[in-house]
Chain A
Amino acid sequence: MGHTVLVCDDAIFMRTMISDILTQAGYEVVGEAETGAQAVERYRALKPDLVTMDIVMPDMGGIDAVREICKVDPEAKVLMCSAMGQQALVVEAIQAGAKDFVVKPFQPSRVLEAVQRLLS
């Protein structure tokens, strides 16, 4: 364990929830970001093993952030966090380089399953 994670979401509630799920499972949340621009900047600085990325965020959305991050590091492991009904956006994110996705409302087990898949 001990993998590092960067959590990106514009809602504190979501960031807290995701951080809790991951922390309780033994992952280390090394940073949070509220905007896409912040996500890119923190990814560069922190080089986390995994990023959870909300799709809709102010100041550069999640999809553009994925694209930017993958430019820096094509192997970046970005997990998209999507609301129901955003399939088209998720597909776009996958094309931009996202490696997996989970759909809100989150079930902790689903989130952890996806995280484990990506980090294995």
Chain B
Amino acid sequence: MDLAKYAALFLSDGREHLQQSNALLLEWERDPPATEPVAGLFRSFHTIKGMAATMGYTKLADLVHAGESVLDAVRSTGMPATRELLELLFRTLDAIESALEDAAAGSDGARLSADLIPHLTQFAQQVLAGSSAPRVLRPPAPGGAEATPPLGEGVSVTLVVRRGAAMPFARAMLALRRIEGFGRVSGLTPNLAQVDPQVFDGRFRLLLEGGADPGEIRRAVLEVGEIDVVDISTGDPHGRAGSRARQIRVDLVRLDELVNNVGELMVARNRLVTLAAAVPGGELEVLSDRISRLVTNVHAEVLGARMAPIGEVFDRFPRAVRDLGRQLGREVRLEVVGREIEVDRSVLEELGEPLLHLVRNAVDHGIEPPKERRAKGKPVEGMIRLEATRQRSRVVIRVTDDGRGVDRARVRDRLLSQGHDAGAMEDDQLLKILARPGFSLADRITEVSGRGVGMDAVLNRVRALGGAIDMHSTLGQGTSFVLRLPLTLAVVQALLVGVGRERYALPLGFVEETGQPDPAGGPVPVGAQSVSFRGRSIPAVDLRVLAEITDPLRSGQRPLVVMAFGERRAALVVDTLLGQSDLVLETVDAPRGMPRWLNGAAILADGVPAFILDPTALF
């Protein structure tokens, strides 16, 4: 059998288990007498070992086996977490991670240090030798909040509330209560306690303990009414409720292809609807209606298939924060909320870096050293909170710390010393100042941050994703960043504007406001380099000049679109404002000679294409 084609799958599965292991280890570090994390770690190691052996990666398998033997010894003797043990296990996880990558890349054991396996084996023996020591481990609390169900004893239940049912969220709660009557429920996905009822799509799954008869569960749930699908499977070996049930893996490239095709289908649909509307009452209208609905559904389904829980990104951070905290001598705890919120993969992939930046900043500049915190009467352990929520078609991510907050006086001094004017220091201005390329408050440059690159990179990345970012900071109490991002990049929210007979789309992320220039200045002449707006003169670009429009200008004042780039504002002068629209992006290769201020094109509902402006190239 040719195993090479499974390497990618092996890698992604292995990474998933490692991420889980890291989370479990952190959990154990916080609660050393707990036994559940060890059991979970053991299961993950065991799975990785099995996979590695199947793939023929013997060196990796040996390493994992050695780690597993330590866990087994710990498990059987009831040894609680000690600093030494935790360090060893963290180190082992790191070693497994690089060994995993190496093995999948075809060089099994390339970076494996020679001493780790003997060290692990020896450690396991020591643990076993000292097993006459009294049991200090707390046995798993029956029904306790963190108790992980024992292997194979859970029933995974997936439910879908009937489409069109009133209040699907409330219906789901009814079903949940019914199921809770059978036994302990865990692994609720999405977590109904945190989900926004307005966007709940009616689907959820959970793991039920207690060995109830699947037939009985099904009957009880169907009795709740308006529940369409009940899928019950037993014995999920990972204890992750049904996450493996009825799923297939699809290559992302194929999915992207599908998204592109469906995008074009959407455009064609819009055209069809417009055409059909011109012939009301006919068969065409009925058919167009039907096709329109179907295409919309397919579009939503395909985009849905690209969604992945934001936890895939969030889960990298607990370990990063821990390591960083130790490196910098901070005691930090990371709280993660809303990891089940689903976001398009394209957004997810772009999100990791800016978020990591914010989290690092929070550890380095936000959270004070323990001594300082104690002196201020704060809890010694600093708290960073990473929270995702969904608001309509956007995901909102908050990164909050309870650290020292931004010292406005220092920002002012720093600005003045650099010869800049320090104006008001409201939160939004502060963010813009901090995001100035090269601006840094740090007195020292650490390995972590302080090089003055960072906030501007974060800001630009978020903007490029069509998102926005806000900051709130209170001296002595902490700082909070709020990122608002689209759930998907396949659809762009844009402001449509017109010049002459042409239309252009501006990504909404850059648009601050629209309005008329101050009347005092009279009509804005074509080609004006600046305009007066709300009593201030701001730089301007005339879209007429840019697009070389020569159609006669209708009389009257022309509107402005005020855009924000960091702290700069600039106005685009247009002929007309045509309103907001969700555009399905056409992925076009830039044709030769396409002006650099254009980003692509989209077909509007009437079938006519509109160019999408790249505001960053305008000013």
Of A91, A101, A120, which is within 8 A of B197 by CB?
A: A91
> In the complex, which of the residues B166, B169, B170, B198 has the most CB atoms of chain A within 10 Å of its own CB atom?
B170
- The answer to whether the Cβ of B567 comes within 8 Å of any Cβ in the partner chain is no
CB of B167 within 8 A of CB of A103, answer yes
- The answer to whether the Cβ of A64 comes within 8 Å of any Cβ in the partner chain is no
CB of B170 within 8 A of CB of A94, answer yes
Of B174, B197, B224, B225, which is within 8 A of A87 by CB?
A: B197
Residues from 162 to 197 in B contacting A, C-beta threshold 8 Å:
166-167, 169-170, 173-174, 177, 197
CB of B225 within 8 A of CB of A94, answer no
Shortest CB-to-CB span from A52 to chain B, Å, is 15
- The answer to whether the Cβ of A22 comes within 8 Å of any Cβ in the partner chain is no
Q: How many A-B residue pairs have CB under 8 A?
A: 36
Shortest CB-to-CB span from B481 to chain A, Å, is 28
Residues from 4 to 25 in A contacting B, C-beta threshold 8 Å:
none
Give CA–CA (A114, B170) in the complex, Å. Answer: 14
Residues from 83 to 102 in A contacting B, C-beta threshold 8 Å:
84, 87-88, 90-91, 94-95, 99-102
Q: Which residues of B contact A94 (CB under 8 A)?
A: 170, 173-174, 177
Q: Which residues of B contact A99 (CB under 8 A)?
A: 174
Shortest CB-to-CB span from A91 to chain B, Å, is 5
Give CA–CA (A114, B223) in the complex, Å. Answer: 10
- The answer to whether the Cβ of A113 comes within 8 Å of any Cβ in the partner chain is yes
Q: Which residues of A contact B173 (CB under 8 A)?
A: 91, 94-95
- The answer to whether the Cβ of A82 comes within 8 Å of any Cβ in the partner chain is yes
For residue A90, which residue of chain B has the nearest CB? B170
A101 and B167 contact, Cβ closer than 8 Å, known pairs A94-B173, A95-B173: yes
A100 and B167 contact, Cβ closer than 8 Å, known pairs A91-B197, A94-B173: no
CB of A91 within 8 A of CB of B225, answer no
For residue A114, which residue of chain B has the nearest CB? B225
CB of B197 within 8 A of CB of A117, answer no
Chain B positions 123 through 166: 1 when the CB is less than 8 Å from some CB of chain A, otherwise 0:
00000000000000000000000000000000000000000001
> In the complex, which of the residues A84, A94, A95 has the most CB atoms of chain B within 10 Å of its own CB atom?
A94
CB of B223 within 8 A of CB of A101, answer no
Chain A positions 61 through 90: 1 when the CB is less than 8 Å from some CB of chain B, otherwise 0:
000000000000000000000101001101
CB of A87 within 8 A of CB of B223, answer no
For residue B171, which residue of chain A has the nearest CB? A101
Shortest CB-to-CB span from A51 to chain B, Å, is 16
Shortest CB-to-CB span from A45 to chain B, Å, is 28
Chain B positions 186 through 224: 1 when the CB is less than 8 Å from some CB of chain A, otherwise 0:
000000000001100000000000000000000000011
Q: Which residues of B contact A114 (CB under 8 A)?
A: 225
Give CA–CA (A120, B197) in the complex, Å. Answer: 29
CB of A88 within 8 A of CB of B197, answer yes
Give CA–CA (A114, B224) in the complex, Å. Answer: 9
A117 and B225 contact, Cβ closer than 8 Å, known pairs A91-B197, A100-B174: yes
A103 and B197 contact, Cβ closer than 8 Å, known pairs A94-B174, A94-B177, A114-B225: no
Give CA–CA (A114, B225) in the complex, Å. Answer: 8
Of A84, A91, A113, A117, which is within 8 A of B169 by CB?
A: A91
Having A87-B197, A101-B170, one finds 19 other A-B pairs with CB under 8 Å, namely: A82-B167, A87-B169, A88-B197, A90-B167, A90-B170, A91-B169, A91-B170, A91-B173, A91-B197, A94-B174, A95-B177, A99-B174, A100-B174, A100-B224, A100-B225, A102-B166, A103-B166, A113-B225, A117-B225
**Top-10 shortest CB links A-B:** A103-B166, A90-B170, A87-B167, A94-B173, A87-B197, A117-B225, A91-B170, A91-B173, A87-B170, A94-B174
A selection of 24 A-B contacts at a CB cut-off of 8 Å is A82-B167, A84-B166, A87-B170, A87-B197, A87-B198, A88-B197, A90-B167, A90-B170, A91-B169, A91-B170, A94-B170, A94-B173, A94-B174, A94-B177, A95-B177, A100-B224, A101-B170, A101-B174, A102-B166, A114-B225, A117-B223, A117-B224, A117-B225, A120-B223
